[in-house]
Structure formats: structure tokens, C-alpha cells
Amino acid sequence: ETGVTQSPTHLIKTRGQQVTLRCSSQSGHNTVSWYQQALGQGPQFIFQYYREEENGRGNFPPRFSGLQFPNYSSELNVNALELDDSALYLCASNPGGVTDTQYFGPGTRLTVL
């Protein structure tokens, strides 16, 4: 158990819709990162938040956005869903600073039809 939870577990949306995925980090973990994992691939970094501000972004378009809240929860929002957005979305947290290990949640499986 990593102490990181995600909701919902599964989600089905249609192309063009918007979706919000949620993550609850361990208390004291100031950094949260989001990853997208397509079937048969490794996770790809979407972006990272540190103390409620975006602190780095991977090669993802602006329709992927996020929020981090003071209570160690965070959201990943995806607008104008495309079929290729179908994937497992993972959030990972750590205490921030120089700590290296990231603690991953169980993921949300998003299917776009």
C-alpha cells in the first residue's frame, strides 16, 4: 500500500467529452505527478505539481490540465477527448525536495469511445 488513492477506478467517455480524474496523496507529500500509460507501453510523464503550481510538463497538449489542492488531493482534467486518450492514468506523489522515490496510486482506466 502506497497511501495514494485514485478515483474512479474505471471510466468510459465518448470522443469530444471532458473528464476529471482525482488523486489523493499521502499527507505531507507536496509533489504530485501524473502519467499516462497506453496499453503495452510504459508510463509517460504528463506534468508535475509542487505546492499547487505546475512544475514541469511532458509532451502533452494544453487540453491536459491539472490542479493541486492544499489537502494533498489533485485533479487531472482532459478536454476534447480523443480515442488515443484511452489509457491507464497514474498519479504519483512524494514529499518533494530531494526525495527520489515516487509513490504510485492504482490508476484510473479511461476508455474513450
Partner 1 sequence: SQQGEEDPQALSIQEGENATMNCSYKTSINNLQWYRQNSGRGLVHLILIRSNEREKHSGRLRVTLDTSKKSSSLLITASRAADTASYFCATDHSGAYSGAGSYQLTFGKGTKLSVIP
Q: Examine residue 106 and tell whether it contacts partner 1 (CB under 8 A).
A: yes
State which residue, 64 or 103, has the beta carbon closest to partner 1.
103
Backbone phi, psi, residue 83, to 5°: -55, -40
CB-based contact 44:55 (threshold 8 Å): no
Q: Which amino acid is at 84?
A: D
Give the integer Cα–Cα distance in Å for 56 and 51: 13
Side-chain-facing half-sphere of 12: CA atoms under 13 Å: 1
For the chain, how many helices (H) and strands (E)?
0, 11
User: Restricting to residues 5-34, which ones interact with partner 1 according to CB under 8 A?
Assistant: 30-31, 33
Q: Which amino acid is at 39?
A: L
State which residue, 14 or 41, has the beta carbon closest to partner 1.
41
Q: Examine residue 2 and tell whether it contacts partner 1 (CB under 8 A).
A: yes
Minimum distance, C-beta of residue 81 to partner 1, in the bound complex (Å): 20
CB-based contact 47:57 (threshold 8 Å): yes
State which residue, 53 or 84, has the beta carbon closest to partner 1.
53
User: Restricting to residues 40-99, which ones interact with partner 1 according to CB under 8 A?
Assistant: 40-45, 48, 50, 53, 55-59, 88, 90, 92, 94, 96-99
Chain residues that interact with partner 1, rule: CB under 8 A: 2, 4, 30-31, 33, 35, 37, 39-45, 48, 50, 53, 55-59, 88, 90, 92, 94, 96-107, 109
